[in-house]
Structure formats: C-alpha cells, structure tokens
Amino acid sequence: MEVKIGVQNVARELSIETDQSAEEVAAAVRSAVSDSGGILGLTDSKGREILVPVAALAYVQVGDSEKGRVGFGTVPLPR
C-alpha cells in the first residue's frame, strides 16, 4: 500500500510503501488525530518507522501501489 503524507511548510511529500492495509492506515491516522498533540506512526515495508507530529500534517493519501513501469512496451518486429 502506498501512503503519501503532506507536511505543512514542506515542499515535498513523504511517500512510503507499507504492508498495512488501507483500513489499518486510516485507523492509525484517525487515532493520531483524535489525540491532542498526537503523533502519526507508520511502519514501511522495510520495517522502518515513520513518525510525524499531527500538528504538522497537511494531508494523508492512501492508495494502491503502482508498480514501476520499465521498458518501452511491446514493439512489433518487422518481418
């Protein structure tokens, strides 16, 4: 699952791949936001933990991972 996190006053977003489901990520975001002064904590697919203070969150986008596209596609060979 790909998760993109926008942080206030930062030009680039955080983008992580996680093995958590969309429901688990959404539950973690809701829990962190409901705690005053909370911290959003997610673990990426390599086991690293990402911690973002809720006060700095701009948005969290949860979506399916898109596999990287490599190559030029199928090109018919002349005969």
Residue 59 lies in a domain: yes
pLDDT tens per residue, range 11-63: 999 999 999 999 999 999 999 988 877 899 999 999 999 999 999 999 999 98
Domain assignment of residue 41, yes or no:
yes
Cβ contacts of 31 within 8 Å, gap of 6 or more: 38
Taken as a whole, the chain contains a residue count of 79
Please indicate, yes or no, if residue 48 is contained in any of the structural domains. Answer: yes
Let me know if residue 55 belongs to a domain.
yes
* Number of domains making up the chain: 1
Answer whether 0.85 is exceeded by the pTM: no
**DSSP assigned state of 29:** H
pLDDT of residue 38: 86
Whether 78 is in a domain gets the answer no
CB 5 within 8 A of CB 59: yes
Domain that holds residue 33: 2-63
79 in a structural domain = no
Q: Compute the chain's Rg from CA coordinates.
A: 17
